[in-house]
């Protein structure tokens, strides 16, 4: 079982996200990652296979990631091996996502998205989900989520960042 945390506020997000993930370590995981909004446009993503300690080392305990809004994830792989490519967050276009659980019909959704021109780098059901949300997004996050999730079968929890909404998870 993986873990999801989010923070938006006035403090630097990454150290708080790492602290939150450390409280979820007992649930078990094989890799971890953070996405933090750095200003209006940029969402910085850092991932690390293995212990949370590696993610903390890569980010100077979170201090290297500037920004006050972000999401964090500890992964327990169900679809695809344990590596940085498959680790969350996953991002496409304006959408960045972490996901807990399983998208049962990801194969069919992947075929449909590939027919629309999407390509896939990871082996995860999660990458299918973020691309499905991107394909539904025309500026209204809730509408995109409703449309995308209406097509999804499975059991899941998500935290999502949309580039057009810098302080919102």
Q: Which of 75, 94, 110, 131 binds ligand GLU (CB under 6 A)?
A: 75
Q: Find the residue with minimal CB distance to ligand GLU.
A: 2
Among 79, 112, 151, 163, binds ligand GLU (CB under 6 A): 79
Among 11-19, 44-52, 71-79, 159-167, which window interacts with ligand GLU (CB under 6 A)? 71-79
* Binds ligand GLU (CB under 6 A): choice among 20, 66, 76, 91: 76
Interaction between residue 2 and ligand GLU (CB under 6 A): yes
Beta carbon nearer to ligand GLU, 100 or 135: 100
CB of 126 to ligand GLU, least distance (A): 5
Which DSSP string corresponds to the chain? --EEEEEESSS-HHHHHHHHHHHTGGG--SEEEEEEEETTTEEEEEEEES-HHHHHHHTTTTTTS--SEEEEEEE--SSS-SSTTTSSPEEETTEEEEEEEEETTHHHHHHHHHHTT----S--HHHHHHHHHHHH-SS-HHHHHHHHHTT--EEEEEEEEETT-TT--
Residues that bind ligand GLU (rule: CB under 6 A) add up to a total of 15
- The site string for ligand GLU over 101-140 (x = CB under 6 A, - otherwise) reads xx---------------------xxx--------------
**In this complex, which beta carbon is closest to ligand GLU, that of residue 59 or of residue 86?**
86
Do the beta carbons of residue 74 and residue 40 sit within 8 Å?
no
Subset of residues 4 to 63 that bind ligand GLU, contact rule: CB under 6 A: none
113 contacts 132 by C-beta, under 8 angstroms: yes
Please answer whether residues 45 and 71 qualify as being in contact, where contact means their C-beta atoms are separated by less than 8 angstroms.
no
Angle between helices 125-136 and 106-115 (to 10 degrees): 50
Which residues here bind ligand GLU, judged by CB under 6 A? Answer: 2, 75-80, 86, 99-102, 124-126
């Amino acid at each position: 079982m993986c873990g999801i945390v989010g923070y938006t506020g006035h403090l630097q997000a990454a150290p708080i996200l790492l602290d939150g993930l450390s409280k979820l370590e007992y649930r078990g995981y094989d890799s971890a990652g953070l996405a933090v909004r750095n200003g209006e446009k940029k969402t910085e993503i850092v991932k690390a296979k293995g212990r949370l300690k590696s993610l903390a080392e890569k980010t100077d305990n979170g201090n290297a990631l500037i920004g006050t809004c972000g999401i964090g994830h500890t992964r327990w792989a169900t679809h695809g091996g344990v590596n940085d490519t498959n680790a969350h967050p996953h991002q496409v276009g304006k959408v960045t996502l972490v996901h807990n659980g399983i998208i049962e019909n990801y194969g069919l959704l992947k075929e449909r998205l590939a027919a629309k021109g999407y390509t896939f780098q990871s082996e995860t059901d999660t990458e299918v989900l973020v691309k499905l949300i991107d394909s539904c997004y025309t500026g209204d996050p809730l509408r995109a989520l409703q449309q995308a999730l209406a097509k999804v079968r499975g059991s899941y929890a998500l935290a999502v960042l949309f580039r057009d909404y810098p302080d919102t998870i």
